[in-house]
Structure 1
């Protein structure tokens, strides 16, 4: 929809963009003025205004912060850039009414603050101290395979939560690593401490390519987690639901 159809002139858009730019830089320099709920609200509208609708893959099950940010941004997919900017600046003004007086325009800089991908909340570990699970979480297939070969680590080894390398790979949505692990005879039917299989993770995280690949293995589609949920009971995309229906009898 064109700006004039929204009743917004080109000059108004320029003015709104400048105000949004200043407000976003104020938020960056004054995060302690906002609570987490407000920051999440602002994050989603900043992303929608700056990057448009969310087409980033949904973060894994254990990236709780990333999932909240993704869901907040994803919920705005039908909102225009101008609407997102208006809501952003309105929220800043409502929360800190005199923000534009507090904020020295010289702090604004020359560019917008942007984040192209969701933040990685994993702890940084030196390469020499990494385990197979660390390389797996990093998405580094080459180093993972080298580690498994040189240390003779069992590809089906489970961590403290009962998760195998396949669980983590399906959580992350790494198809290259999935193929490599399946080539090493990784078992797709091992369940974690909550009774969830790698396919439970892939379905929950909405990684359709991972789901499709797992369905071609000797996977048990009737496995239940501790709550009695099978893969068909998990909330996911309509496309994955349809895909599962073709395999479950």
Structure 2
């Protein structure tokens, strides 16, 4: 490889790094489908060709992310970086200028949250009697607290139970990044901080993959096991993209 080619790759990597940091600070400005596309290019650029098995049928979020990565086939890392940047340019043509402005203030959060559970459209369809999970989805702390206090049966059978989507209350709170609700759930004596969803993931997996740093820190404070691996063999570090979160989990 010539010196010129090496310099071009270095410049590409620098621009790719700036682009990923921009997405990290501005992910809430993009649609879910675009975030998924960024995810696929990111994995291809940093890891290479998809090298993990397709997640199980109940791991909806994992299957979606796996598909966008696997669809890129043998695309080179350099082409993946270019694809990432070009997709960002198409959506935000002035992104690089904006990120360099003195008044640009990154928003607190993750590089990307691609969980299909984070789509809030589903909340509009909630009607009739609501469960604790419904209130968690809405981010309604007061109702979650009231619902917990009104439980007549064994609280453990409510807190440590999977819903029809294969998730427990603690997973939903970590997915949504609601630190107050997550803290409330963790303070319930019977809550299992390492409770697994139908795909073997813990709340720490969810918080890490969604980039919810405060939730990651809180779960660790409550003794969450960072070494747990899901049904696909991935730990919470493996599913994290935020470098600060990765450092927290090391």
TM-score by length of 2: 0.53
Aligned pairs for 1:33-48 within 5 A: none
* Alignment counterpart, residue 209 of structure 1, candidates 200, 214, 225: 214
- Quickly say closer, same or farther: Cα 1:81–1:227, change in 2 above 3 A: closer
* Alignment counterpart, residue 174 of structure 1, candidates 170, 178, 197: 178
2:208 and 2:216 in contact (8 A); partners too = yes
Q: How far has the Cα of 1:135 moved from its partner?
A: 0.6
* SS in structure 2 of the partner of residue 129 of structure 1: coil
Matches of 1:196 and 1:58 in 2, distance apart?
A: 24
Matches of 2:126 and 2:243 in 1, distance apart?
A: 41
2:226 and 2:235 in contact (8 A); partners too = yes
Q: Does 1:231 align with 2:222?
A: no
**Could you tell me which residue of structure 1 aligns to residue 50 of structure 2?**
none
**Which is higher, the Rg of structure 1 or of structure 2?**
1
In structure 2, runs of 5+ residues without a counterpart are: 1-21, 39-83, 99-117
Q: What are the Cα deviations for residues 112-168 of structure 1, in whole angstroms up to 9, with x where unaligned?
A: xxxxxx972214245642111111111101101111222335222221243111100
1:202 and 1:211 in contact (8 A); partners too = yes
**Could you tell me which residue of structure 2 aligns to residue 129 of structure 1?**
129
Matches of 2:27 and 2:179 in 1, distance apart?
A: 13
1:202 and 1:208 in contact (8 A); partners too = yes
Asked which structure has the greater RCO (Cα within 8 Å, sep 6+), the reply is 2
Q: How far has the Cα of 1:242 moved from its partner?
A: 1.2
**Could you tell me which residue of structure 1 aligns to residue 42 of structure 2?**
none
- Quickly say closer, same or farther: Cα 1:81–1:166, change in 2 above 3 A: closer
Matches of 1:161 and 1:119 in 2, distance apart?
A: 14
* SS in structure 2 of the partner of residue 187 of structure 1: coil
Q: How large is the RMSD of aligned CA atoms in angstroms?
A: 3.4
In structure 1, runs of 5+ residues without a counterpart are: 1-51, 60-64, 85-117
* SS in structure 1 of the partner of residue 221 of structure 2: coil
Matches of 2:149 and 2:248 in 1, distance apart?
A: 35
Q: What are the Cα deviations for residues 48-96 of structure 1, in whole angstroms up to 9, with x where unaligned?
A: xxxx97745669xxxxx94324466996388417999xxxxxxxxxxxx
TM-score by length of 1: 0.53
- Quickly say closer, same or farther: Cα 1:57–1:171, change in 2 above 3 A: farther
- Quickly say closer, same or farther: Cα 1:136–1:82, change in 2 above 3 A: closer
* Alignment counterpart, residue 184 of structure 1, candidates 156, 181, 188: 188
Q: How far has the Cα of 1:172 moved from its partner?
A: 0.3
